[in-house]
Amino acid sequence: MFLFNSLPKILSDSILEQVLESGELKVLTRNSPTTYYESADGPAGLEYDLAKMFADQLGVKLTLVVPNSFTNLLEDIKSGRAHIAAAGLSITEPRKEILKFGPSYQEVTEQLIYNVNKTRPKSLDDIKDKRLEIVAESSHESTLITERANHPDLIWTSNTKLESEELIQMVADEEIDYTIADSNEVTLNQRFMLNIRTAFDIGDPKQIAWAFPKNEDNSLYAAAVKFFERIKNNGELTRLIERTYGHAENFDYVGTLYFQKHIETRLPKYQAMFEKAAAEHGLDWKLLAAIGYQESHWNPKATSPTGVRGIMMLTQATAAQLDIKNRLKPQSSIRGGAEYFASRLKKIDKEIEEPDKTWMALAAYNVGYGHLEDARIITEQMGNDPNKWIDVKQVLPLLAKRKWYKKTKHGYARGWEPVRYVENIRSYYDILRWMNGKNGTPEHEALSILPKVP
């Protein structure tokens, strides 16, 4: 890790020197699941993670500022009221006239969003005389201005107060007909708003980057360029993006629809049991419930061909080990599942940090701790990080191939199953957080929050 404090002084009044001397990096951002939000465990979001990592490497405190509107954000960074805008900003030609962009770290596509209860439009010509609303001064507005040359009847409303996610919700609630959203926003929100759909892509993919005030001082900009070069080369950027989006990319509409229905019809019978068992082991009950749903769809009488039974689908051997007399009794099964998962979590290497520790424990819960360790050993042999889920999950499927499993201590495993298992639970957990948020917890807390484990 490098610290910019150790660099020789360039100019006593350079922006980088001002940041280092003041001990503060001031960053403009937006409140959304793709950028920054307050979770139960503190600040979260991809832009927050990146900005915090950069501030830590500078050796300064990160101060985040969320302007009242997107328009204010652009004006504030243009005027130099903050050092950086880390807000999921697309690089556009008009913006390049007034701002300086750092290296791109993500690619998105603008998409027209509609409600499934409406007819799917096939082109921008199909949406005239309908209510299209977008974020004012966004890249989406620039795109529409360009598109109007080919679609002269195209009209829209530019909203100066709402964020893109709120406009997506308005489409879901049929308050407006259409909006435009970036593909990463759609990826996260489609699991919660099941009646939104992508009609079509608009324009070419766009690059996302940090924005800086456009001036002659490149000191902080150059430091950011070096920072992004480093995290791209060491794989940390890929891991951060996977943490935010990896489990949400393979969206299953039908499966998610049934899950949300079962939250209403089945979960109320067992929620208190999940809460009690989770509290006894320092777990988040919603994570435990997500495991239970993946195992049995909250069916207390579930039985597999291999003999595992009950809501948590415990094997006979595991039930005996945990002193569970009746696996079909919901309270006993849930108590046993909580105890067993907690034991997997405590067994995971202490060097593994969250959220990877939880994902590894889930994989061990499914495939067995020994097979997980085999996969971690192969991961390290391949030159990747055995403490990162994004690397280990690429290796687990190899345990089903003789070329690889013959070299391991524990042999063959259906290694693709724990990968699917973990990703499904991550999505179920997100949805439970979101549904719970509708009853009082801020909705942004629905995304990627981890349990507190002693």
- Give the residue numbers annotated as catalytic, written as ranges: 295
Rounded CA Rg of the chain: 24
The verdict on whether omega for the bond into residue 355 sits within 30 degrees of 0, i.e. cis, is yes
Q: Half-sphere exposure of 89 toward its Cβ, with a 13 Å CA cutoff?
A: 28
Alpha carbon distance 80, 212 (integer Å) = 8
Helices 267-280 and 253-265 sit at what angle, rounded to 10 degrees? 90
Burial 417-453 (b: 16+ CB within 10 A, else e): ebbbbbbbbbbbbbbbbbbbbeeebebbbbbbbbbeb
Strands 99-101 and 196-213: antiparallel
Alpha carbon distance 354, 349 (integer Å) = 11
**Residue 93: which H helix or E strand, with range?**
helix 93-96
Bridge partner residues of 31 (DSSP): 36
Longest dimension (CA), the chain: 73
DSSP 452: P
Strands 179-182 and 106-115: antiparallel
DSSP 280: H
**Residue 289: which H helix or E strand, with range?**
helix 285-296
Apex 417 CA angle, 106 and 241, nearest 5: 15
Helices 267-280 and 285-296 sit at what angle, rounded to 10 degrees? 130
Q: Half-sphere exposure of 435 toward its Cβ, with a 13 Å CA cutoff?
A: 21
Q: Which two tokens stand for residue 379?
A: 């991961």
Give, in order, the Cα–Cα distances in Å from 271 to each of 83, 309, 319.
46, 19, 21
Strands 24-28 and 61-65: parallel
DSSP 398: G
Give, in order, the Cα–Cα distances in Å from 235 to each of 49, 125, 232, 398.
14, 43, 5, 21
DSSP 135: E
